[in-house]
Structure 1
């Protein structure tokens, strides 16, 4: 009989609601597993005191159910505010900062009954897909301790893979939900922009290139978390309408049209074996009835990357300029953060306008493609998880990477236009390191995409069949 910590989140919630499990039993088991497994990966940081957590679990058992996550232990990504806990964002500038409020999405999870046990590790300010920082150290891959778990939601991905949490939140600006999901053999879902509205207080009109989203070991768990997170907010301008996130439970994909983009017509260098594993994932879709068709590159890859990198630099500079303009604080920022801010502050209006135009034209092009295609597919990464002591890979397949994020180019087509995408596991290389594949749909077709992922999951069940080789607990 499997340990209930390895159950799907929907089954764990059902057992808590039905009285087959108590929240205090789940919490005690969770803390025990963290004690045994977290040292190997350093995924959970700022763990709250056990006595406090057990008291909160007992209170949950004694209370009327508050919602979809009642009694479920969760660790929030280390970039978000959780009232009364430390929020360092991985920066020594904020090593002692205590949050005085919950971020809106954290408040939604709290209202749904979640119990917050701590945080999950991230890169400094969430920059780069490798979760290391000078405050909390590096998060390591559960499938190979010498390698990265990805990022910026790397702590979340590793914690899920290790069964230290059943659900996780994350955020995705360039690929921070999808990349670590692929590298930890779990699922990461970037929803359509507007389903999880931006946090009030900053620029909520123009800056629409990042979003919150869930990570899990099964697509129906993703849907469970979306029921909680996808709440329109009248205080911000971009909202998608509220809807049901109930999945159909379909196990076939008859008639589903999948366009395979591969390496984007040769524009994206890929390490050996990645395309082959993704084609294996496509074969699984075909076996379920999907029609898979290879596609030519639909847009100039370099134009997309240029637009993306300009918009990203502009957004980051706007948010971080105060730190950069103080010489003492600037010296404590990671070099990649300084580079982004400097680029953004120097940007000309014409370059910014051109980036916006490229973004608009690509959205139009993608919309046309989705008239004759239900799902697009791309690899989740262009390289395998790299050594944990690297900052970022300097070359892929013999091609030099000219920026710290160029190696994530494969994420840009989705991130630039805010359409939904889910990273699904596709297997492992000869060294046992995982890889994923992005499945992408038209904006607003999030539930239909999750139904495709659910059918794929029922046929493959990669996370359940191949857990990491961590000490048994």
Structure 2
């Protein structure tokens, strides 16, 4: 049964609505912040989504905002940042005991841009150590629980962000995505998230400036809010060598005539029957909206080796000199130490070939739709999914293939609520576009969202 008791509460307004109310002085920034701080106090102990709260600092920012003129399109709107993202003067642990008391002296670019747009930071959201894995649990703060079923995982590694959004603690949250870290928790928590084309939202790194598998991106409760946040955080930054110079322009057309490819399993991946049943309803939605839908056979298997090689290489580069890492991070570092030049050459050939094959694919289709995750939210005590639909998996990464195979494509991909299993667990559909076609992905996501209304179903907290 749908639980919409809090739909019209202040903390469940959209970010777009909140910004309008503050701008027109129908609501003060302080009043809006207080409503969210009250909500955090009410529900955060149950889900453990926000792990560092800066209420006093936020209220001071709200008071300053109310005393002056609007500073940007998000003036007075509360926002939370993932605990992987540097926030000046605010504890940032990266989910690791090694950084439990770390306080950065500068803001990440996404933080800079949201501050400049008038958004007010209320806190940091939980993440696994260094964002490793799609289950949000770490030794510093513990596990984030799924607000639709507190015995289940909120996904990861942006699980704290997704749970905070779903429960009305914030209307916007920053996420990041290497192998599904933004899309998976959006799917698990019935919110929306966009993995942008690499470079659309600049990613800054002093160690791996050219690394394109991991990207920052927006998370929200509605696609319109995703689009609003993208308009703020996207754009060229010379500190990122592959930053896109083209401005992000929303596409507000309907989807009549859109060419939609549908893959129920991305070429033979095992999918949980509950997830499969929900995502199988997505093609019909697009057909009713006037899109041309065709089920396709895909071979994305080259993405497996390419993703694992590049991920392993990155972990050895980024974390190989640290002692005291957790089990998952250590395993990735050890895999990275085994990577050879021949491995990298093979991965680059595979990824290049896949890029060109998919370019030809997107000459025929505008978007590809598929499951975000191969399973619904799993028990929070489980470290990862070890079996799907009777198929045993080799390691803790393998259950995320439906997300990380897409990461290799250099393509934008959104997660949008697609429905619920019979037991009430959220399931998302993944909408994938050609590289640089972020606006087309959001156009399709918005149409699907508005046609179904699944994102309006709130958790029973």
TM range (shorter): over 0.9
State which of 235, 239, 242 in structure 1 corresponds to 2:243. 239
Q: Which runs of 5+ in 1 are unaligned?
A: 324-328
What are the equivalent positions in structure 2 for 1:121-160 lying under 5 Å apart?
121-160=126-165
Identify which range, 350-359 or 268-277, moves more after superposition: 268-277
1:200 Cα deviation from its structure 2 partner: 4.2
How many angstroms does 1:292 deviate by? 1.3
> What root-mean-square deviation, in Å, do the aligned CA atoms of Structure 1 and Structure 2 show?
1.3
Matches within 5 A, 1:6-405: 6-48=12-54, 50-205=55-210, 207-248=211-252, 250=253, 252-266=254-268, 268-299=269-300, 301=301, 303-323=302-322, 329=323, 332-405=324-397
Aligned counterparts of 2:209 and 2:30: Cα–Cα separation in 1: 39
> What residue number does 2:3 align with?
none
2:177 and 2:195 in contact (8 A); partners too: yes
Q: How far apart are residue 247 of structure 1 and its match?
A: 4.0
| Structure 2 unaligned blocks of 5 or more | 1-6
| Alpha-carbon distance, 1:295 to partner | 0.5
Paired residue for 1:326? none
2 CA distance for matches of 1:82 and 1:359? 34
Task: Check conservation: 1:108, 1:228, Cα contact below 8 A.
Answer: yes
Q: CA deviation at 1:308?
A: 0.7
Does the aligned pair in 1 maintain the 2:234–2:248 contact within 8 Å?
no
Residue 203 (structure 1) shift: 2.0
Partner of 1:467: 458
CA deviation profile, 1:121-174 (whole Å, cap 9, x unmatched): 001110000000010110000100000000000001001100110111100000
Check conservation: 1:269, 1:399, Cα contact below 8 A.
Answer: yes
Q: CA deviation at 1:439?
A: 0.5
Q: Could you say what secondary structure the match of 1:456 adopts?
A: helix
Per the normalisation by structure 1, the TM-score is: 0.94
**How many residues end up aligned between the 2 structures?**
455
Q: TM-score, normalised by structure 2?
A: 0.96
1:426 is aligned to 2:428: no
Q: 1: CA distance between counterparts of 2:349 and 2:159?
A: 32
Please state whether the residue corresponding to 2:123 is helix, strand or coil: strand
Instruction: Give the drift of 1:352.
Output: 1.0
Shift of 1:97: 0.8
Question: 1:245, CA displacement in angstroms?
Answer: 3.3
Per-residue CA deviations over 1:427-466 (Å, capped at 9, x if unaligned) read 11111100001000001111122111111111112121x1
Secondary structure in 2 matching 1:297: coil
